[in-house]
Amino acid sequence: MRQRLLLLALCSLVSSRALALSSNFPFVQGGPVITGVTATDAWVSWYTAHHEGSGTECTFEENTPILGDHNTDTPTLTLNTNAQFSDTNCSREHLVHVTGLSASTSYTFTLDKPWDSKNGTTAAGSFKTAPPAGSGAAVKFVVYGDTRNDQQLGGANTEPDHQAVVNAIITNESDAEFIVHTGDMALNLPAVSGDDKGYTEFFTVERALMANHPLFVVLGNHETIDTTFYDAMFDPARFDGSSHPYYSSFDWGKVHIAMGDSFEGSSTTLGLGGLNPAISDAQAQWLNADLQAAHSAHQASFVAIHQGPYSHTNDSKGHGGLADVVLKLVPSMVQYGALATFAGHDHYYQRGHEGCIDYLVLGGGGAPRYAPDDGAAGVAIGVQTLSYMVVSVTANGSASMVVKDTNGNSIDSLTFSVPDPGCGTSDAGSDAGSELDAGTDGGTQTDAGVADGGGDAGPVDAGIPDAGIPDAGSSDAGNRDAGSPSADGGNITQLDGGGCGCTTSNAGLVDGIALVLLFGLYRLRSRARAAAHD
Q: pLDDT tens across 198-227, in order?
A: 899 999 999 999 999 999 999 999 999 999
Q: Where are the domains of the chain?
A: 27-129, 136-415
Q: pLDDT tens across 52-105, in order?
A: 333 344 444 444 444 444 444 678 999 999 999 998 776 788 999 999 999 999
Q: What is the pLDDT of residue 74?
A: 73
Higher pLDDT, 269 or 489: 269
Cα distances from 326 to residues 151, 262, 333, 464, in angstroms, run: 33, 11, 10, 10
Q: What is the pLDDT of residue 425?
A: 54
Q: What is the pLDDT of residue 208?
A: 97
Q: pLDDT tens across 148-180, in order?
A: 998 888 889 999 999 999 999 999 999 999 999
Nearest-angstrom CA–CA distance, 493 and 512: 22
Q: How confident is the model at residue 196 (pLDDT cuts 50, 70, 90)?
A: confident
Beta strands in 338-424 (DSSP E): 340-343, 349-354, 357-362, 379-383, 388-393, 399-404, 410-415
| The listed CATH number (1.20.140.10, 3.40.50.720, 3.40.50.620, 2.60.40.10) that belongs to domain 27-129 | 2.60.40.10
Nearest-angstrom CA–CA distance, 504 and 225: 17
Q: pLDDT tens across 398-411, in order?
A: 999 999 999 999 99
Higher pLDDT, 195 or 513: 195
Q: How confident is the model at residue 482 (pLDDT cuts 50, 70, 90)?
A: very low
| The listed CATH number (1.10.357.10, 3.30.565.10, 3.30.70.260, 3.60.21.10) that belongs to domain 136-415 | 3.60.21.10
Distance, first Cα to last Cα, the chain: 36
Kindly report the number of other CB atoms within 10 A of residue 266's CB atom.
8
Residue 171 main-chain phi, psi, to 5 deg: -70, -45
Q: Is the peptide bond before 459 cis (omega within 30 degrees of 0)?
A: no
Q: What is the pLDDT of residue 241?
A: 83
Q: What is the pLDDT of residue 424?
A: 67
Q: pLDDT tens across 423-481, in order?
A: 865 433 333 332 333 333 333 333 333 333 333 333 333 333 333 333 333 333 333 33
Q: How confident is the model at residue 366 (pLDDT cuts 50, 70, 90)?
A: very high
Higher pLDDT, 471 or 366: 366
- pLDDT above 90 covers a percentage of the chain that reads 57
